[in-house]
Structure 1
Amino acid sequence: MFTLTTRLLALVAATSGLAAPVQNGNSNSPVSNLAGFQNAKLSHSAGGNAVCIIGNVPVSVTTQTNEKILLSNPANQSSVTNLFVEYVQANSTLQTMANGGQTTVSGTYNINAKLCYPLNWDSKKSSKTVQFLIHGIGFDKSYWDLASGYSYIDAAALAGYPTFSYDRLGTGASDHPDPIQVVQSSLQVDIAHNLIQSLRSGGFAGQSFSRVVAVGHSFGSIQSVGITVKYPKDVDAVILTGFSTNTNAIPLTFVGFNPAIANQNKPATFGNLPNGYLVTDTSISNQLAFLRAPNFDPKLFTLDDNTKQTFTIGEVFTLGNPVAPATAFTGPVDVVNGENDFIFCQSDCNLPTDQSVLVLDILYPAASKGSQTVIIPGTGHAINVHYKAPAAYQQMLNFVRSNGF
């Protein structure tokens, strides 16, 4: 029988340029079920290799390890600038003085998510490994699907893997709650945990995944580390991109960002947000932190700057809190860095020694022998924007395959 759901799916498919998903009792179509998503729509990945369900996912979450930050929303841009001057000054005590101790935060937040399947994926026969993608500061989930040839979602789909990406709380189409007391790194880790549990239990599109590979970039890698520390059974493997244990350039990064109040910098996009939501000030700020000239696509650089996303004062003051040795995590780890990553290597990931290898040595003492590291030549922090992004994708997917996922 042709149901209302079928008609709605057909309408969505028609308006998105997709063939209508089959809706019957014998269907193995991955997009024949939109359960778990609100206001769902269908789309293709940038290169057309994946079909995706996009919609809001309500996440009810409680964390007991947010910080009570003893700061209020800044009154104006001068206050923001002075805050970061104090944050990076020699022998600064601002972060310690602003820490009012741990506090519990609870809420239900809409997270905008995208579940993508390879075009020929079959719910009964295909891989039940999903790659769980977490973007970094300055981006939203589109980081993983920028354009044809610069889409990890496309590359994963060609290799046979579904992917789940989402706008972190406080970015993109997800909710933007209090930017100081709520949107912090600890809560972000617990949101990721809840989403992973839903993927394993069949909470999205009626599909349950038996294996999850966390893939992070930058702040998303910090959260991936946090997952393996706090919830070591959540994921079977982890890929950390744009991340090391070298934090020497973090203060330089914030200086380079020249953090600007989002509602003043881009009022048409962020005009309704409180002053604790910030963005990088200019395209110069973005290039300094994220890119290595001339090894990136100028069109993607322009796209990146035009679509830059917010970060919060709460995230800045809790940035590294999730990072600790993941002594209980025994799965394989892949560390992928651009050779000229500014943020985590001060532009040379080979000095004073290979910074990718150090991540394994310091944070993952129990990781399996299938672990790998790589440094991508001539590439900056935002690997996906650089010409060598496909080489990074190939290494990442080879890592997943070689470990039997």
Structure 2
Amino acid sequence: MRFYTAFALAAGAAAQHSKSPLPSSPGGAVPAGVRPPSTSGFDNATIQPARGGLAVCVSGTVSVKASTSQNLKFNFELPKNQSQVTNVFLRLFSNPSPFAQELVSGTQSASGTYEIGATLCTPANNTTPDQVQLLTHGIGFDRYYWDFAPGYSYVDVAAQYGHATFLYDRLGVGKSTKADPLNVVQAAIEVEIAKVLAQKLRAGAFSNHAFSTVVGAGHSFGSIITQAVTSQYPEAIDAAILTGFSTNSTGTVPFNLAYSQAIASQNQPYRFGALNNGYLVDGGAIANEICFFRAPGFDPEILSLAEATKSTVTLGELFSISAVTKPAANWTKPVAVVNGNEDLAFCFGNCSAPVNKAEAVFPVLYPQAKTTGAYLAKNTGHGLNLHYSAVEAYHYIQDFIDRSVR
């Protein structure tokens, strides 16, 4: 399926769900007469349409001051070559693994003012909603996971429902600060950054508009970060959407070994040549497909684009990824879990057996939640947004938000 065909399907489906369909104008400049968001709060700002033209966006960098005392301290030195990187993960996932048991030696503080690559999008009908969705991407992607290509844009479908979106590059990714990949770029500080961004959206720090409602939505590691916000700072957001997420860890080892972590500066010297050996990427297109895709539910061109635009992950993130997940005991607001049914990382390839692993999240992590939703997309792997099924999943999410968030 070519991009323009996928876009036509997406636009048609969106029109069926929208109360007031927006005109579609994929690519190019912002159409005449359409007012983009203000550039206030963004440095080096640019204006552009979303991939399908259903939203207008301002992009740039924003400053975020964040600190934590919960970053992990490791008994570890950065690897000197690719062989050492590979051996790290073979040792980490051996059973039993003395390396894993001896890796962490306590906690340490991390703080700073970080430049974060960010994009704020509003519907292309000259409206500025009072609700915004804070979108946190996962490992292997940057913020454009949420606005990937015409027909694969979460941002465009959200705009159909009159929803604004704020997508950003996690610390160490894309246009965001490339901090120490072992001691700084970890899960705990990224939770703090997400919390501060939610607060800034409420306070009107971006585009001179204070949003009264902030919905946190994540994918994979981005869902881990979002879930941690609901646990540690439940007042920061009004609802949570967790995609590519569960409490099942059986797929962790095959996912990480299949990912074939490669030193980013060697694998992609043109893009990442300035980074040290603590920044990694997937080993290649086959690794990307195994970890994120499931045939026949995707267009091979989308896999090629995902590999060409793949983003970095740090050793600090991979070592700390499970450290921030805790039950959100006081969370009573809406929460939904949306997965590809064949997700490898969080379902070991089957999210519906022996139980629905999306639904299984709620009694474990959200025992007090009054409104929950679960959705499994068929023929879909871990990279939900990159499959033919993505648009219908987007509609499920936007419908859930419209029904549940007041």
TM-score, with length taken from structure 1: 0.91
Distance 2:113 2:310 in 1: 25
Instruction: Say which is worse superposed, 96-105 or 387-396, in terms of deviation.
Output: 96-105
2:405 equivalent to 1:400 = no
Give ranges in structure 2 of 5+ residues lacking alignment.
Answer: 1-27
Contact 2:244 2:382 in 1 (8 A): yes
Contact 1:185 1:315 in 2 (8 A): yes
SS at match of 2:358: helix
SS at match of 1:104: strand
Identity of aligned residues (%): 44
For residue 58 of structure 2, the aligned residue among 53, 56, 78 is: 53
For residue 335 of structure 1, the aligned residue among 326, 334, 337 is: 337
How far off its partner does 1:404 sit? 4.0
Distance 1:297 1:134 in 2: 24
Partner of 1:228: 230
Q: Structure 2 matches for 1:149-160, cutoff 5 A?
A: 149-160=151-162
SS at match of 2:208: coil
2:264 equivalent to 1:259 = no
Contact 1:145 1:154 in 2 (8 A): yes
Partner of 1:37: 42
2:172 equivalent to 1:167 = no
Letter aligned with residue 48 of structure 1: G
Distance 2:197 2:381 in 1: 29
2:119 equivalent to 1:108 = no
Give ranges in structure 1 of 5+ residues lacking alignment.
Answer: 1-15, 23-28
Distance 1:21 1:57 in 2: 27
Distance 1:367 1:326 in 2: 9
2:241 equivalent to 1:239 = yes
* Cα 1:21/1:68, change in 2 over 3 Å: farther
How far off its partner does 1:19 sit? 5.4
For residue 30 of structure 2, the aligned residue among 15, 18, 26 is: 18
For residue 135 of structure 1, the aligned residue among 137, 142, 149 is: 137
Contact 2:302 2:386 in 1 (8 A): yes
2:377 equivalent to 1:365 = no
Contact 1:256 1:289 in 2 (8 A): yes
Distance 1:143 1:288 in 2: 18
Partner of 1:84: 89
Contact 1:30 1:122 in 2 (8 A): no
Partner of 1:98: 103
For residue 73 of structure 1, the aligned residue among 70, 75, 78 is: 78
Q: Structure 2 matches for 1:187-336, cutoff 5 A?
A: 187-336=189-338
Partner of 1:374: 375
SS at match of 1:328: coil
Contact 1:53 1:116 in 2 (8 A): yes
Partner of 1:9: none
How far off its partner does 1:69 sit? 1.5
How far off its partner does 1:93 sit? 2.7
Q: How many residues align?
A: 379
TM-score, with length taken from structure 2: 0.91
Distance 1:43 1:189 in 2: 28
Deviations 1:128-177 (A, max 9, x none): 11011000000001100111111000000011000000010111111111
Deviations 1:174-224 (A, max 9, x none): 111110000000011000011110000000011100111111100000001
